[in-house]
Amino acid sequence: MNGHVLLIEDEPNIIEAISFILSREGWRVDTHSQGSDAVEHVRRTGPDVLILDAMLPGRSGFDILRDLRDDPEMSALPILMLTARGQSKDREQAERAGVSRFMTKPFSNAEVLDAVRALSEA
């Protein structure tokens, strides 16, 4: 068992793909699709790695990221942010908010797996 990944994403195809890739490699994967209560969900489930979409219903992934980084209990959580918008301003905003790693959609299965492995070992 590699650990616990929480995926906060609202696109069913991406949820299915990432869950499959990581589960096949021995990760326990939980999913959540709402931004409005995402921070509480992270606190409740206590993942080893968080994969966070930048655009979620109810609340931005950037706002969620900032809240997690401001929380002493969650500040060191490895976070991989996914976005469909690969503009440099999005990457810069995520880096300022404290993201561990940033990935633009579409991505390859290998990229996601490599990123989660690296974050879990950091």
pLDDT single digits (tens) 19-44 = 999 999 999 999 999 999 999 999 99
Task: For domain 3-121, give the CATH number.
Answer: 3.40.50.2300
Label residue 2 by pLDDT band (50, 70, 90): confident
Backbone angles phi, psi at 27, to 5 degrees: -80, 145
Question: pLDDT, tens digit, for every residue of 91-112?
Answer: 899 999 999 999 999 999 999 9
